[in-house]
Amino acid sequence: MKITCHCPFHRADHCETCRKPVAMMRLMSLTAGFAASLLLLTAPADAQNARMRVGVEGNYPPFSVIGPDGKLSGFDIDIANALCAEMKVDCTLVQQEWDGMIPALNTRKFDMIVASMTITADRAKIVDFSDVYYDVPSRWVAKQGAFTEPTPDALKGKTIIVLRNSPRAKHAKEKYPNSRLLLVAKETDVYLELRAGRGDIALGSSVIAEGLFLKRPEGAGFATVGEPLRLKGDSDVGIAVRKGDTPLRDRINAALKAIKADGRYQQIAQRYFTFDVSGGNS
């Protein structure tokens, strides 16, 4: 028997006549709402607004340093600001200790890392990297005349000072099994420990070795040993974004190409270095 609809607004829970069309409308509404929510959750930060947060370190001169006034400066800081200007986004710099840099990125404390992070296979499993934005080799440093060449035989039983969790530390561990390693938390600590006599030889960034140690009074009596060393995953430095954030990575790459093409990159680099750090890609 046909049921006559007495619903003033044809409510589907009251009559058979309007149940199906209203149910379909509800389903379509729920589906559209879910799709919109999913889109908001998965869209990268830069696609949703014109503001971004940039993770920087502040303890790695001349790349990033916190001055007495609390302000950040350095090569990484200037590059980050130039990229943000090119992308036309308002960026906030967020200072972060090095060991927590990637976890902070992945928990959305910031949207990208501009902190002299070398591109390694292990890191590429958990973050995505931009194109290389600078390339600096490593150098061995020791007391003048202590070593002719930094061979495994020459360093047998000696203590190598190196930054922990770095490609250089991995290289020292693998290639110098008969040497002791003194692992330090900051790149500048490599040379503080060397000067204090807590190690026999240091393996660190050529920029830090020459600019912040050998050319200063505290570097008197020390010298580089052997030729510059280019390690896979040591000299290629990129900007990290969260895994899968391809739109932001592509925007960063486009901005990087733009500031290299119009000379802004070179102007920044000349403030800090006397040699080309672009890796031949300037």
| CB contact burial 93-132 (16+ within 10 A = b; e otherwise) | bbebebeebbebbeeeebbbbbbbbbbbeebeeebbbbbb
Check pLDDT > 90 for residue 74.
yes
Are 149 and 209 in a shared domain? yes
Q: Return the pLDDT at 151.
A: 97
Same domain flag for 252 and 125? yes
Q: By the 8 A CB rule, do 97 and 67 touch? A: no
Tens of pLDDT, residue by residue over 226-261, are 998 888 656 789 999 999 999 999 999 999 999 999
Does pLDDT of 200 surpass 50?
yes
> Average of pLDDT values for 5-26?
42
pLDDT value for 192: 96
112 with 164, same domain: the answer is: no
Is 68 among the domain residues?
yes
Range with the poorest average pLDDT among 28-42, 212-226, 258-272: 28-42
- pLDDT band per the 50, 70, 90 thresholds, residue 163: very high
Res 39: pLDDT: 39
Question: Quick one: 253 and 115 in the same domain?
Answer: yes
**pLDDT for 229:** 87
Are 59 and 131 found together in one domain?
A: yes
Predicted confidence at residue 49, as pLDDT, reads: 52
Mean pLDDT for all residues in the chain: 84
* Domain encompassing residue 122: 52-136+235-271
pTM of the model: 0.64
Say yes or no: 122 and 193 in one domain: no
pLDDT (0 to 100) of residue 279: 65
Same domain (yes/no): 197, 250? no
First to last CA, the chain: 83
Domain match, 115 and 145 both: no
Is the same domain home to 74 and 103?
Answer: yes
Q: Report residue 6's pLDDT band, with 50, 70 and 90 as the boundaries.
A: very low
Residue 100 within a domain: yes
Of 34-38, 215-219, 270-274, where does mean pLDDT reach its minimum? 34-38
Answer yes or no: is 154 within a domain.
yes
Q: How would you classify residue 259: left for phi > 0, otherwise alpha for psi between -120 and 50, otherwise beta?
A: alpha
Q: What pLDDT is recorded for position 42?
A: 41
Q: Does 46 map to a domain?
A: no
Residue 2 lies in a domain: no
Structure-block tokens of residue 264: 């802004």
- Which of 186, 144, 135 has the alpha carbon at shortest distance from 161? 186
Residue 116, domain member (yes or no): yes
Average pLDDT over residues 181-204: 96
Does residue 17 fall inside a structural domain? no
pLDDT at residue 11 in the model: 36
Instruction: Give pLDDT, residue 21.
Output: 46
Q: Which residues pair with 211 in a beta bridge?
A: none
Question: Tens digit of pLDDT for each residue in 22-67?
Answer: 444 444 444 444 444 433 344 444 444 589 999 999 988 889 999 9
Give the residue among 227, 225, 260 at the shortest CA–CA distance from 146: 225
In a domain, 96, yes or no: yes
What would the mean pLDDT of 150-178 be, rounded to a whole number? 95
Domain count, the chain: 2
The answer to whether residues 249 and 241 touch, using CB atoms and an 8 Å cutoff, is yes
How does DSSP assign 238-279, residue by residue? EEEEETT-HHHHHHHHHHHHHHHHTSHHHHHHHTT-SS--ST
Higher pLDDT, 12 or 217: 217
Residues 110 and 173 in one domain: no
Shared domain check, 265 and 251: yes
Q: What is the CA radius of gyration of the chain?
A: 27
Are 166 and 132 contained in the same domain? no
Question: Does residue 16 register a pLDDT over 80?
Answer: no
Q: What's the CATH number where 153 sits?
A: 3.40.190.10
- Greater confidence, 167 or 169? 169
